[in-house]
Amino acid sequence: MGRLLTAAIVLHTSITAHAQEDSPPSNVGPPTHAGRDRAEGPVGQSGATFEVQGARLVLPPGLPIGNSRVLTFSRAPGRLRIAGIDARFVRIGPILSFNGALDATASPIEVSIPQPSPLRAPAAGLRLVLALEQPGLCTDDNRRDTLPGGLCSAWQLIDATSTNGRLSARLPTTGGLRIVFGWAGVPAE
């Protein structure tokens, strides 16, 4: 009986140790979703990181979204009508798309791309920005840029920075449409 009890304890300890090795660590951070031209995955309260060909979008923890919402970050197909963004806009890097329309006022979303080298303004009077497309009312200026649902493209320019070999910007909201870095005219004071 003693040998049988000892064998049962050894077997139980071995199975328990093996099960603990297979379980993921409890301190795993937010998931990372990566792809060549498109990254898609569920996002919950822990946040997430999306990566596509060096472009990165980081959703911080605690955003007001559901616990299993599937979002997509990708390279956007098609052309960009520069005049709809800013008369002096000069694009830097790829046109990206993020399908989440989120309020991140409390914890901004960070978007970044590898920085082209060297980074110099193509003309005086330009500033580094991230252009964020959002649905807006149609006017004479944007009527050619229609979106589903009868709205038109309205572009918001957000100041961007260049640090550690990356261009980045922090977004308090996202429109669920296109995102592109570039140079734009300095706003009149």
Mean pLDDT for the chain overall:
83
pLDDT at 76: 92
Task: Identify the domain containing residue 107 by its residue range.
Answer: 26-185
Q: Is residue 18 part of a domain?
A: no
pLDDT at 30: 87
Q: Is residue 8 part of a domain?
A: no
Peptide bond into 118 cis (omega under 30): yes
pLDDT at 145: 81
pLDDT band, very low/low/confident/very high, at 188 (cuts 50, 70, 90): low
* Number of structural domains in the chain: 1
pLDDT at 3: 57
pLDDT at 84: 82
Top mean pLDDT of 24-38, 144-158, 161-175 is at 161-175
Dist CA 137 CA 159 (whole Å): 23
Tokens of 140: 């004479």
Tell me which of 61 and 9 has the higher pLDDT: 61
Dist CA 29 CA 48 (whole Å): 9
Q: State the CATH number of the domain containing residue 115.
A: 2.60.220
3-state class of 46 per DSSP? coil
3-state class of 11 per DSSP? helix
Q: Is the pLDDT of residue 180 over 70?
A: yes
* DSSP bridge partners of 112: 56, 168
Q: Is the pLDDT of residue 20 over 50?
A: no
pLDDT digit string (tens) for 74-92? 999 888 888 788 889 999 9
pLDDT at 23: 41
Tokens of 5: 């009890």
Q: Is residue 13 part of a domain?
A: no
